[in-house]
Amino acid sequence: MNIGIDLGGTKIQVGIEKNGEIISQTKALLEEKDSLPSTLKQVINFIKPLMDHKVDGIGIGVPSVVDVKNGIVYNVTNIPSWKKVELKAILEKEFDVPVFVNNDVNCFAIGEHRFGLGKQFSNMVGMSIGTGLGSGIIIDNKLYAGVNCGAGEIGLLPYKDKNIEYYASGNFFSSFYDTTALDAYKAAKTGNTPSLAQWEEFGRHFGAAVQAVLYTYDPEAIILGGSLAKAFQFFKKSMEDSFQDFIYPEIINKLTILVSKNENIALLGAAALVDQALVGQTNAL
């Protein structure tokens, strides 16, 4: 059994992976984000009860650039106190088990490829749409993380007057319509016309993000995750309409786009980092 941790900018989720399922799961909002000691203490206190099980190791996904070999995380998104944290060394000293650290969206992609909808694909991209927009890349059944664990940052590519993430994440709704993606989703479900129009516009922007993935990686499949993926029904058509100008229609015709069905898939992917067979396949390790 392995412990998987999904550390986000606002919350922490911890669980034990056993036979491809998450057991003994705990989740909570991340507290005192301006204090490194406080946030580390919260992470450690979440792990401690799980160590009563026979645990082989700990895998953790964080929203940041990661020195995967040494388990050091830098400039964690929305956690201002995490500028440079030697997370692997800290947790291994505390719990005396192997610890592996990677980007959170990479963990999402690993989870889908190993345990979820991506099992049938050798080449796939996991795209997580939430407060931001990130991607995890699987090439020939191996995670491609890049030299600095920065591969897949499609959202940071220039787009219009900002970048893709500005228009194709939750930021779109707060910046242009003074609302939240959640409220826009709830309203769209009631048939609210303005909200449906917002999602239609969002879909055109998200289509640009998908096209960036296709031109860069040309995968068999893209699997969508994150909170905004739940609204896929409201932006699917406009996204697909945006593909009409894509220069290689054969690629579009062969592409499969799916929405993740397992809310614990990032936890499973983080736990899978401990599996030495999988870890040995990742280029960054």
68 close to 145: Cβ distance less than 8 angstroms? yes
Cβ atoms within 10 Å of 4's Cβ, excluding its own: 28
- Each residue's pLDDT, cut to its tens digit, for the chain (285 residues) gives 899 999 987 889 999 998 889 988 888 988 888 999 999 999 999 999 999 888 999 999 999 889 998 999 998 878 889 999 999 999 999 999 999 999 999 999 999 999 999 999 999 999 999 988 999 999 999 999 888 888 999 999 999 999 999 999 999 999 999 999 999 999 999 999 999 999 999 999 999 999 999 999 999 999 999 999 999 999 999 999 999 999 999 999 999 999 999 999 999 999 999 985 344 544 433
- The pairing of strands 124-129 and 256-259 is unpaired
Amino acid at 99: V
- The pairing of strands 57-62 and 99-103 is parallel
Q: Which of 172-177's residues contact partners 24+ apart within 8 Å by CB, and which partners?
A: 172/202, 172/205, 173/198, 173/202
Cβ atoms within 10 Å of 28's Cβ, excluding its own: 11
User: What DSSP element (H or E) covers 88?
Assistant: helix 87-95
Report, in this order, helix, strand and coil percent for the chain, each rounded to 5.
45, 25, 30
Using CB atoms within 10 Å of the CB of residue 88, give its burial: 0 to 12 exposed, 13 to 18 middle, 19+ buried. Answer: buried
- HSE at residue 250, side-chain half, CA atoms within 13 A, is 0
14 close to 4: Cβ distance less than 8 angstroms? yes
Q: Which of 139-142's residues contact partners 24+ apart within 8 Å by CB, and which partners?
A: 139/217, 141/113, 141/281, 142/281, 142/282, 142/283
Cβ atoms within 10 Å of 35's Cβ, excluding its own: 13
Set out the domains of the chain in order of their start, with CATH numbers.
Answer: 2-106+270-279 (3.30.420.40), 120-259 (3.30.420.40)
Cβ atoms within 10 Å of 48's Cβ, excluding its own: 11
User: What pTM did the predictor assign?
Assistant: 0.92
Instruction: Give the Å distances, CA to CA, from 223 to 97, 166, 256.
Output: 32, 20, 8
Q: pLDDT value at position 11?
A: 86
Terminal alpha carbon distance of the chain: 21
Report the DSSP beta bridge partners of residue 65.
Answer: 74
Q: pLDDT value at position 115?
A: 94
Instruction: Give the Å distances, CA to CA, from 190 to 173, 187, 203.
Output: 18, 5, 19
